[in-house]
Chains A and B, each alone.
Chain A
Amino acid sequence: MFRNQYDTDVTTWSPAGRLFQVEYAMEAVKQGSAAIGLRSKTHIVLGCVNKANSELSSHQKKIFKVDDHIGVAIAGLTADGRVLSRYMRNESINYSFTYESPLPVGRLVVQLADKAQVCTQRSWKRPYGVGLLVAGLDESGAHLYYNCPSGNYFEYQAFAIGSRSQAAKTYLERRFENFADSSRDYLVKDALMAIRETLQGETLKSSICTVAVVGVGEPFHVLDQETVQQMIDAFEIVGEQEGPAAEPDASAVLEAAAEQGAAAADQGGSTDEGVAPMDI
């Protein structure tokens, strides 16, 4: 995308009928570190890559609990994401207070989308520079939505946003038909595999990713590092055994956990997952 005379203001249309400021806002989402989401009939898993500015700093929080039944992962301007999460929490609390029942996810995403749309039609505002993966459970089942800075929202079986998300999307596209009936643990494993795809060869460790789950009988919560590392160890080996093209860094992990090889062998569902990380 190149600069042109129609992109100064969000209230200026281009002759081709585009709002460039809105599209630039969507670019900001692509610059953020990856966030992925996938769902089955009963559970939704959100994952994200923890990217820190420098070795000295901590990473930014990208997954937020909105309510017991709703959580959100963001990519892009995390400040905007934080503010929108606060809005979502507020809406959820107010709805529960008035109706004594949990806010249906579909309602929340529409409110979010309308809020984003306002910023695309005011000369004194700018669009939110953040994409949100909203995961929620309500009476109609498990849902995963993607909210765009443009004010659009879409429902997904699985999706990835942020930098190098194409790699994750490709993985998810290959596997998504299995997700609906997947068990919770396999769903988390798929999420971790998708996150790994975005890492481009870097070893997947629990310190560089965050995973959160929400499901039937399971309120939204972020999995702690230990649990995540255990799950990584469990499937990483399978990837090493089945996939000759798996990243070389994983071999160190394999040596450390060689005894688990036999137990991991019967996780046959992931036999075709041992593929090389894709370039974007």
Chain B
Amino acid sequence: MTKQQANWSPYDNNGGSCVAIAGADYCVIAADTRMSTGYNILTREYSKICKLADKCVMASSGFQADVKALQKQLAARHLIYQHQHNKQMSCPAMAQLLSNTLYYKRFFPYYSFNVLGGLDNEGKGCVFTYDAVGSYEKVGYSSQGYGSTLIMPFLDNQLKSPSPLLLPVQDAVTPLVEAEAVDLVKTVFASASERDIYTGDKLEIVVVNAAGIRREYMELRKD
């Protein structure tokens, strides 16, 4: 008697890729806008990026229904925080909240692969990368989603991340200027779109800096 397998899955993967890069006084968060299921495209104009707080932005790839539910949860929790503390949540605080929220559903996870980007309390760029159940790490840059296998090695090469095992502890925050980081992101997505079928259509870039939050778009391959 073989083990019974479910013939229905509560999950689906809507594809796409997301990236975040932290700089000395800015953070770039980007994701493509293609939403797919299987080999089909559902829409070419879906935003995977969500502003959680004044200086904190999250991009998530995976199952967008779970992503939406997760974003709503965090937004509601942020409102409560603002009522209680009379201020916006900092990026590191939101990072911990996201981790806790994900682990809360450890046994029926949010199928959401997230990168959180923003400015920390000193105005320095920070990026946090997650798995689906909340394990997270502060890094200088990260990517998630189908395209991350193509994107991550390229970012490692270009941003020359020091090994986290080295002493003294070195910051992986890139010395690149904001314009260079945005350019890098555009290059990275253009390349990923070439080979990854789930990445393409349009690229949405969000830049968080002292002046606030700015949004940019770039066309990508539509095939």
A interface with B by C-beta (< 8 Å): 65, 86, 89-90, 93-94, 96-97
Q: Which positions in B face A, CB cutoff 8 Å?
A: 72, 76, 79-80, 83
A-B contact number at CB 8 A: 13
Q: A97 touching B72 by the CB < 8 A rule?
A: yes
CA distance A96 to B72 in the complex (A): 10
Write the nearest CB–CB distance from B83 to chain A, whole angstroms.
Answer: 5
Q: Are A89 and B83 in contact (CB-based, < 8 A)?
A: yes
Decide: B80 and A97 in contact? CB cutoff 8 A. Answer: no
Query: CA–CA, A89 to B83, complex, Å?
Result: 8
Q: Show 13 residue pairs from A and B whose CB-CB distance is below 8 angstroms, ordered by the A residue.
A: A65-B83, A86-B83, A89-B79, A89-B80, A89-B83, A90-B80, A93-B76, A93-B79, A93-B80, A94-B76, A96-B76, A97-B72, A97-B76
Bound CA span A93–B83, Å = 11
- Nearest first, the 6 A-B pairs at minimum CB distance are A93-B76, A89-B83, A97-B76, A93-B79, A97-B72, A93-B80
A86 to B79, CA, bound (A): 12
Residues of A within 8 A of B76 (CB): 93-94, 96-97
In the bound assembly, the distance between CA atoms of A122 and B72 in angstroms comes to: 37
Question: Who on chain A is nearest to B75 by CB?
Answer: A97
**Contact partners of B80 in chain A: CB under 8 A:** 89-90, 93
- Measured between alpha carbons, how far is A97 from B78 in the docked complex, in Å? 12
Can you add 10 more A-B contacts, CB < 8 Å, to A93-B80, A94-B76, A96-B76? A65-B83, A86-B83, A89-B79, A89-B80, A89-B83, A90-B80, A93-B76, A93-B79, A97-B72, A97-B76
**Within 8 Å CB of B79, what residues of A?**
89, 93
